[in-house]
Homo-oligomer: A and B are copies of this chain.
Amino acid sequence: MATIQDVAKAAGVSAMTVSNVLNDRPHVRPATREKVLAAIAHLDYRVNVAARTLRTGRTGTIGLAVPEVNRPYYGRLAAAVVAAAGRHGLRVSIEQTDARRENELATLAPSRARVHDGVILAAAGLTTSEAQRLKADLPVVVLGERIFGGPVDHVAMPNVEASRAATGHLVARGCRRIAFLCGAISETPGDVDVSSLRRTGYRQALADAGLPGDHQLEYELAEFTMAAGAQWARTTAPARPDLDGVFCVTDTVAMGVLRGLADVGIRVPHAVKVIGFDNVDESAYLVPSLSTVAPDHDAMAQRAVDLLVRRIKGPESDDREPEGFVAPYEVVVRESTASAG
């Protein structure tokens, strides 16, 4: 395997000149550049990434830490991040955190700085206060909740607003007894997990409509899974005949709910209307198709990568105030909330 020295020799220049060509640095005469490129092609030379990393401290790879690869939402996100990173010439290495805080924190440990130039952390296990005190040893962008006053750049879902819109849509379709299904809500006061943010939006929408809030209608599931959603629909929903709408914290949960309601003969959207959150690809193909909130995944991924690259590139930029970006969204209306029977 050819080295930069071999190329230099073949081109009749110094290794440094080859390096300059490789890295698109100025001050290389076109003629010289040609010679070097020819030698590179001839020898089929490839840079040794390890050597470059050892020298520069840059690895050319960013980490993407997600709770679980095998979930449509994160699959969608990962695809978008891989694409966006590629545009910056960066590789993406995906890690699973299983939504456990120690794993999430571990991705920011110094040891990772040796492997990744930066990390995009799709946080699900951290508390807000933890996120606000994140002391990362490498550039980080947190993807998930909006972290006010946190120390790192973050890209967030418009959780509250979008949930309010989703619930508002149910209200507009005539629902009056709307359940909210979410995951475990943190006990820590001031902590903002997805569930509590979306619950806030849900409550606001009820208030907007002058509907009484009923905490009996707020259900905390053990997990964000289809199984949990289905289980709820089979056991709890039938016991609440007054129910006419369900807002699910994610499409995955909603998929389970649709299945469970079908099992117990509760018709959607006739008896109960259902709306989810995420606009996962599958949602459009369910029977009935699932109404949902569609955040702009590509914009989130693109922005996350851009923010990260800026921190990676500019050491001076460490001083820059942490930035936040809230993705645009829209409510996608499908059969599960259709108005006519």
| A interface residues (Cβ-Cβ under 8 A, vs B) | 1, 44, 46-51, 53-54, 59, 61, 68-72, 74-76, 78-79, 82-83, 91-96, 110-111, 114-115, 226, 230, 255-256, 258-259, 262, 281-282, 284-287, 289
CB atoms of A82 and B54 under 8 A apart: no
Q: A83 to chain B: which residues have CB within 8 Å?
A: 96
CB atoms of A282 and B226 under 8 A apart: yes
Q: A70 to chain B: which residues have CB within 8 Å?
A: 72, 75-76, 78-79, 281
Q: Write 13 A-B pairs (CB below 8 A) sorted by A numbering.
A: A46-B114, A50-B50, A50-B51, A50-B59, A68-B79, A69-B94, A70-B75, A70-B76, A72-B282, A82-B94, A91-B93, A93-B94, A255-B285
CB atoms of B110 and A46 under 8 A apart: yes
CA distance A79 to B70 in the complex (A): 6
CA distance A78 to B255 in the complex (A): 22
A75 contact from B46, B75, B93, Cβ within 8 A: B75
On whether A79 and B69 interact (CB within 8 A), knowing A49-B115, A91-B93, A94-B93, the answer reads yes
Give the number of times this chain occurs in the complex, counting copies: 2
Q: A50 to chain B: which residues have CB within 8 Å?
A: 50-51, 53-54, 59, 114
On whether A282 and B281 interact (CB within 8 A), knowing A54-B51, A91-B93, the answer reads no
The chain B residue sitting closest to A44, CB to CB, is B110
A285 contact from B48, B54, B71, B259, Cβ within 8 A: B259
CB of A201, distance to nearest CB on chain B (Å)? 26
CA distance A114 to B59 in the complex (A): 12
CB atoms of B115 and A91 under 8 A apart: yes
The chain B residue sitting closest to A59, CB to CB, is B50
The chain B residue sitting closest to A230, CB to CB, is B285
A286 contact from B44, B54, B59, B287, Cβ within 8 A: B287
CB atoms of B287 and A287 under 8 A apart: yes
Q: A74 to chain B: which residues have CB within 8 Å?
A: 75
CB atoms of B114 and A49 under 8 A apart: yes
The 10 nearest A-B residue pairs measured at CB = A50-B53, A70-B79, A46-B111, A50-B54, A259-B285, A75-B75, A93-B93, A70-B75, A69-B79, A262-B287
CB of A40, distance to nearest CB on chain B (Å)? 12
CA distance A96 to B68 in the complex (A): 18
Q: A68 to chain B: which residues have CB within 8 Å?
A: 79
CB atoms of A96 and B114 under 8 A apart: no
CA distance A265 to B53 in the complex (A): 60
Task: Using A44-B110, A50-B114, A54-B54 as known contacts, list a sample of 15 further A-B pairs with CB atoms less than 8 Å apart, ordered by residue number in A.
Answer: A46-B110, A46-B111, A46-B114, A48-B54, A49-B114, A50-B50, A51-B54, A53-B53, A70-B72, A70-B76, A72-B282, A83-B96, A91-B93, A256-B285, A258-B287
CA distance A110 to B44 in the complex (A): 9
CA distance A210 to B110 in the complex (A): 66
The chain B residue sitting closest to A225, CB to CB, is B281
On whether A69 and B61 interact (CB within 8 A), knowing A53-B50, A226-B282, A286-B259, the answer reads no
CB of A312, distance to nearest CB on chain B (Å)? 16
Q: A230 to chain B: which residues have CB within 8 Å?
A: 285
